[in-house]
A = this chain, B = another copy of it.
Amino acid sequence: MVVDLRSDTVTRPSDAMRDAAKNAEVGDDVYRDDPSVNELERRAAEILGKEAGLFVPSGTMGNQVAIRAHTDRGQELLADEHAHVLKWELGAVAQLSSLQTRLLDFGDSGAPTPEQVEGGIVEEGLHEAGTGLFCLENTHNYRGGVAVPKEEIDAAAEVAHEHDVPVHLDGARLFNAAEALSTDAAALAENVDSVMFCLSKGLGAPVGSMLVGDQAFIDRARRVRKLFGGGMRQAGIIAAPGLLALENREHLADDHRRAARIAEDLGQIDGIETTAPDSNIVVADVADTGLNAEEFVGQIEQHGVLAVAFSETTVRFTTNWDVTDDDIEQAIDSVRTAMAET
């Protein structure tokens, strides 16, 4: 039996979600005739406290549609050097939106100081295209699933807004952040202009992500989505399970507890260093095992544990609702055995 801790994207839909897919009211969403999609877009906006929503086939599309809908070609995008939108989306910000990227080092907190934001914003000038968008990420994936508190988001966004720079929040795992911080997702999103969050990760939907913002922004985004080929037809088949996923947030506390358990137990294995995680992502430093990250992942895979090499020396373990307490124990035992054999 394999324990799959590669990502929370691997979550499979619940029976209720499958029933919802089967019974979904549908229509042609390109004509705005799909009631399930319309309801999902309305409800997503409501939960996040925004005017309008848009259903997209992937988190990458949600982020990249938002980035283009906010900017003009040639402007700068200001973001963390380890932001998902820059690191793992195939250079799309340059390819699809013609944006130059200016990077900050958000550090372990997953958020910049207001001074960093101030220093990173470029005014339009004779030789400068100017900053067009500032991006935050919450939870911050590469920084170890760290949850960024509302105060830090608001302070960073305030600086951007003083310069008339809009703020997009890559909230692929925003509900994990809300759970970790014991707050509402809407509170975390209050002072940003747009949010992308994924239905298909911790929330467990089979397919899709949401983009929310004000109506004018969503109108522009809908057109960009069409340009990128993201307009789907009877999308209610996946929007209906997505609606259930939207409310499927109770298990996140368990996912976080399980991640804490992984961090604690793996950290006691010789050569593995971990820190207590905020959410469902554990990034373990395996440098002292004598293996690099790829080798480590290969080694534990032979013992039935799937994880992801995250850098030369770090490995990511992600809990999700398909993973039980027993799975976690089995995984920890298996890593221990695997390391003993190294």
- A interface list, Cβ under 8 A from B: 6-7, 9-13, 18-19, 21-24, 26-28, 30-31, 33, 56-58, 60-62, 64-65, 73-76, 81, 86-96, 98-103, 126-129, 200, 206-208, 223, 226-238, 241
In the complex, are the beta carbons of B26 and A206 less than 8 A apart? yes
- 5 A-B pairs besides A10-B28, A10-B233, A207-B238 with CB distance below 8 A are A57-B232, A60-B226, A86-B100, A89-B227, A208-B232
In this complex, what residue of B is CB-closest to A118? B312
Question: Which residues of B sit under 8 angstroms from A238, Cβ to Cβ?
Answer: 207, 237-238
In the complex, are the beta carbons of A227 and B74 less than 8 A apart? yes
Most buried by B among A98, A103, A128: A98
In the complex, are the beta carbons of B88 and A128 less than 8 A apart? yes
Partner of A228, one of B61, B129, B207: B61
Question: Which residues of B sit under 8 angstroms from A7, Cβ to Cβ?
Answer: 28
In the complex, are the beta carbons of A236 and B206 less than 8 A apart? yes
Question: Which residues of B sit under 8 angstroms from A127, Cβ to Cβ?
Answer: 87-90, 226
Q: Report the Cα distance A316→B89, complex, angstroms.
A: 38
What is the minimal beta-carbon distance from A165 to any residue of chain B, in angstroms?
Answer: 15
What is the minimal beta-carbon distance from A209 to any residue of chain B, in angstroms?
Answer: 9
